[in-house]
Each structure stands twice: as structure tokens, then as C-alpha cells.
A and B are shown apart, each in its own frame.
Chain A
Amino acid sequence: MSQDSSLAAGRPGRDPDGPANASGVVVSVQNVTKYFGPLKVLDGVSLEVRQGQLVAIVGRSGSGKSTLLRCMNGLEAIQGGRIVICGHDVGIGRSNRAELRRDVGMVFQSYNLFPHFTVERNITLALTLVKKNTKVEAARIAAEVLALVGLADKNSAYPEQLSGGQQQRVAIARSLALSPQVMLFDEVTSALDPELTIEVLKVMEDLAGRGMTMVLVTHEMAFARRVADQVVFMHKGKVWEAGPTAQVFAHPATAEFAQFIGTGL
């Protein structure tokens, strides 16, 4: 699907023309509208995410990108249109919420780790309570995902003993442990210092390389440009640009996007 092989070169272990890309659509957003009171924050937004893709949603603050992400996960309700994620129609009642939560993982800007639990317990909690793993099994999975994010030695530490970047990596591990089919990232590096941002981005790039379907709302333009398959530019609640990364960056269709990347936001 990607026309630019240099894009694939930025992501080792991915086969751009392989079966992964030819697979079905994982997230389908169809003409979604949403209001906060009288304010229209999403205005007929549509986008598609295919399996194994990394889609970066960019735009200025207030463009509606975080809101869109939260709608994908059912954290916010939509007033118009349809969202289907991993086969679940998000609009419909709570009954399929449990399955939705199993298939969709979310990582937040403020990490939201549980401060009264150790790192390990943060990860094993949902494993034992929701996925009904045994304690031994859960501990094994926790060790695995912690190793993946490079924090194998921190499993008995408490969140406040860790740096912001480490906490965010634990948050990613916590979500990853549940084996989601798609992971949503809501400006996960915005609260971090530059040095800590790098370590988190590295983990995310690694994750993408392993074939995880990821949707990111991010301000990290360089990262998006290098790693994302698809870029979606949002402005005032609408999608103004969407398409393969290299193409969109090389030939912005709209003045707004050109201005946006020009100012280096």
C-alpha cells in the first residue's frame, strides 16, 4: 500500500507489500459528528485504519483530534455517524463494552498508573480480574511486557519512584499485556521532557515494528513523518488531509496543513 519504499526503510521488520497490509480494516470512522453542548467539535469525520498500520492524527490544540480518539474508544459519545472498531460498533449500549475493552488498548497523556500498586500489580490487576489469568500466568505476562519496554528490573517499584518516561512505558506495557488488537495513544509524550520523550517513542516504534495496529494523536511531527503509514491532519473538527505519510507531507493539499508543518508544531 505504501508507495514510498523509504518509508518502510524507517521501520525494520515490516513488509510493506506483505499480507499484513492487505488485511481488513480495523477501525472505521464514518461521518462522525460530536457536540460539546452547542459547540461542534467533530464535523463529519471519516477515516480508516487497516491492520498493522500506524496512523498519526495531527493538528493544533482544539482541532478535535483527542476527542476523536476518545470517541473511538467509547470514552465520549457521538451524536452522528458510526464508529466500528475491531468489529464492535461503539455507539451501541454497554453490553459489548467488555469486549471492546479487551480488543482496544489506550495510553493516556498523564499515564494514569495506579499509585497504590507496584508496577507489576498495575499490570497484573486487569490480567487477573478481567482476563481471569492465574497469578502465575499474569506475573509471567507482566515480566514479558516489562522486558519489551525495557523496564524488566522495575517490577516492584511504585509509580512515583519512576521518571515520567518510565511511567509512560509502564502504562504502555500495562495496556499491551491485555493483548489488544489495536492501541490508541493520546498525546503520550506531550507531558514529557525531550530526553524522556525519546525513550517512549522508541518503544512505540518497536511496537509498530512488531505489527501492532496503532492510532496516535501526537505533536511529534518528526516521529510521525518517519514511522506512520498514514497521516491525518485535523483542523476545526474536520479532516483536512489524510493519506500515506510521505505523500501528504511532500504535497500538502491544503494551505492549513502547509502552514501547520511549516511552523514546525
Chain B
Amino acid sequence: MNQFTSVHVIYLLEAARWTLLLSLIALLGGGILGLALALARVSRLPVLRVMAIAYIQIVQGTPLLVLLFLSYFGLSLAGYRLDPLVAAGLSLTFYVGAFLGEIWRGCIEAVPRTQWEASDCLGLNRFQQYTHVILPQAVRIATAPTVGFMVQVVKNTSLASIIGFVELTRAGQIVNNSTFQPFLVFLFVGAIYFAICYPLSVASRVLERKLHVAR
């Protein structure tokens, strides 16, 4: 049994970088997927809408852990090596995409109907309406909830530990197995997560207030 020393602290902090990397991958992949889903949700084609709704409902009704297992074992079936980072990145992308899709759909729909009408009357086609009028306003509305959701993403990366990806939580378990001081170790792990997430939470609230004041 070892003491919990600065060596362990550094190990944990380094693992936190993997947490951040995985979060970024999830946000990037999930962001692209989410945008596609949001646009599909508000599309005029019923087929697209139904598919998007079905996807979002299924993903939102399944635990992230189960999705992780499915990706992990699914990859092996497809003949790929069981790389935890790839599996985690993939499942988080699917997961985050569904939630961001819902959030962004709400933001697109929050743009007043009158904006559609005005731009239509000016002769813009649908694509131009989206790119010049609707999406810029939707982005403004979406900033606060998206930043808020980033907190969820960072926390969700902790599940990647379960399929063996060494991020902050897994590192905590490893350190714990060496020092047998779970209370101290996981308190520290929690504190690092807090240090990453709390500023995002605060930022989200500040953005939310600014949005309402501006309106």
C-alpha cells in the first residue's frame, strides 16, 4: 500500500487530458451529427423528420453505458480491434449527437416565425433563409444551452473507464488500487472534474442571462 503522493496527483492530472480529448472528440463528432439531426427534424420531408425523431428517441431512451458496450462489442464483430478510445469516441458521438440535435432543434424553432416570413418575402430561398437569417439567430439562442451541455459531455466521458479507456476516472481507480485510499483519491478526482465543469456551468448561466437581457 502506497501513500497518495504528488506522483499520483500528476498521474491523475495527465489522465485528465484524455478526458478533455475524449470530450472534444465527442463534441466535434456529436456536433456534426447533431446539426444534421436538427436540420432533419425541422425539414419539410416527413421521411427525414421521422428518421431523426426515431434516432433521437432511441438514443435518449438507452443508457450511455449500454451504448458503450454495444459500440465496444459491435466494433469487434465488424472486425476492428477493441480500441477503447475508438469505441468510446463512437458511442459518445452517437449519444451527444442525439442530445445536441434536440437542443439545437429547439433553438431553431425558437427563432420567431416572423423571421421566416420576412426573409421569404424578400425572395430568399430555403437554403439562404437558413444560412443568412435563421441559423445565425439560432446559434445565438443555442450558445447557453450548448455550453451547459458540455458539462454533461465531460461527465459522461467517465463511463469510458468501464470499457478500459484510461481517462480521469479510470486513472482514479488505478491509483486507488495502488494506495487503497478511495476517499482521498476520488475526492481529488471529483475536484478535477469540478474544476473543468464548474467554469462551463457558470459560463452557461452568464450567457443565458445575457441572452435574456439582450432580448
Classify A-B as touching or not with yes or no (CB < 8 A).
no
